[in-house]
Chains A and B, each alone.
Chain A
Amino acid sequence: MNNLVIKNLHVSVDGKEILRGINLTINEGDNVALLGPNGHGKSTLLMAIMGHPKYVITCGTIAFNKKDVKKMSVDERSKLGLFLGLQNPSEVPGVNNSDFLKNILNVRREKPMSLFTFYKELEGAYQKMGIPFEMANRNLNEGFSGGEKKRNEILQMLLLNPKIAMLDEIDSGLDVDAINVVAKIINQQHQKGTALMVISHYARLFDLIHPNRAVIMVNGKIVLDGKADLIKRIDKEGYEWIKQELGIDINKIEHNQVSIGACATKVALKEQNK
């Protein structure tokens, strides 16, 4: 049984504390919707699990199958079976997409794949994603549209077959048809045994991938961990009711902050620069 156990996790970015004691367990078969207002630490949690050097764990533990994830390098975490589909995937100059994909598959194998096997697998994955195979010959994310980048993330998930897939706003930038395709792939991945942790601001994606749990983060903490019907409620009513029912003050991020694209890290950096 795969499981990810996070205990009392505190994470700081550039000296500002973003996560203030996260306790969360993700079990095999879980399909978790990670919800919360903008700027309250959802992306930070995923980045910290994956090990981005900017996200410093000041306290607490992360264990995957009882192994101490904190002690591992980023690539070791990936090989262990953690996958993070990024909100803003990097454009890496000069790296050919298919070279990249071949490399990330081969570093997990004792013997490198034959070129033939690789191309067969790659072609299949592109077909499933409904994107032209020619895209494999472009540079990694360079000049890709927002939607193409997101699909390239899902394509990597498909090829790497992780134990836990953390998907950060994977639906933003996708048109309706693309969301349907991506949701289908996510569902197939889940059926293959991959646990999911999915951040999205739109109920549409969750309607398609049917999470079994919804976890709500406010002020860098998890305030609710319950059934999936929480998603519907938040979609209808927003987050205000949490304040009334749970007596939690939702720290407002600055008034002039546009809600799209705001994240706790950006807010922290902004405050620091004041």
Chain B
Amino acid sequence: MKIIVKANEQKEIFIDNNASLDFVLENNASLLLKYAIFNNIKNITINGKLKKNAVLKAAMADFSNGKAKVNASIELDDIGANANWDLASLATGSDQKQFDISFIHNHQRTIANMNNYGVALNSSRLVFSGINYIKKKAKKSQTNQNAKIIVFDQNASGKANPILKIDENDVLASHAAIVGRLNDEHLFYLKSRGLNEKEAKALIVNGYLKPIANHFESKTKLRIEKMIQEKCHV
């Protein structure tokens, strides 16, 4: 799929399958991009270019099954380009999913903000990677990477290694990547306040995955909440 949002226009796209996407946001254009993937996942490639003062707000809710790689590469090509990316992914069974999300600051005063949240259950594997790259001359740019995965089961694994690459001095960059394993101390703590195992697990799973639902309209929102309940047994 190819999309061009013309100068000064606003567009909203909702995709509920494995469609790849190429998009260009012209000057002052804005795009609200919403992905919700519920069935079998296949490789997805997203390429985007943002021009002067263009705004991207992207949300991806991934509750799919399977083995796949999602590749997103967003280029911030002109002053004032601003991209925000939110992802929540649930890996269960023997899923193997990798999200490679990159932002390239090609111009000064561009902003990218990425939040990736994931839960890995059973014997699944979940990887968050990607590079936020601030190129030479892209001064006064801001970039933020936040990647968090919680791993529940012994055979499940998670890896969060987004990378910051910075070739300019006068920039603001922040980076947080955490893979946490739910341990006995956490569970004891939650239980000691009156939550049983299921309630404790639900609290954690919902904390990671539920906020993404707020980006979607009510039908998809309900489906996301139902998916969390069913797949996490909470």
Contact = CB atoms under 8 A, between A and B. Distances in A.
Nearest to B202: A103
Contacts of B194: 75, 78-79, 104, 107-108, 160
A95 B203 contact: yes
Contacts of B207: 94-96, 99, 139
> Contact residue range for chain B?
20 to 34
Given A53-B184, A54-B184, A156 B203 contact: no
A84 interface: yes
A191 interface: no
B191 A93 contact: no
B32 to A, nearest CB: 25
B163 interface: no
A94 B208 contact: yes
A84 B204 contact: no
A100 B190 CA distance: 9
Interface residues of A, number: 30
B60 to A, nearest CB: 18
B194 to A, nearest CB: 4
Contact of B188 (A52, A83, A95): A52
Contacts of A52: 188
A92 B191 contact: no
5 contacts: A73-B191, A75-B194, A92-B204, A93-B178, A104-B195
Given A51-B192, A90-B186, 10 more contacts: A73-B191, A74-B192, A90-B185, A90-B189, A94-B150, A94-B204, A95-B203, A95-B204, A95-B207, A160-B193
Interface of B: 117, 148, 150, 178, 180, 184-186, 188-196, 199, 203-204, 206-208
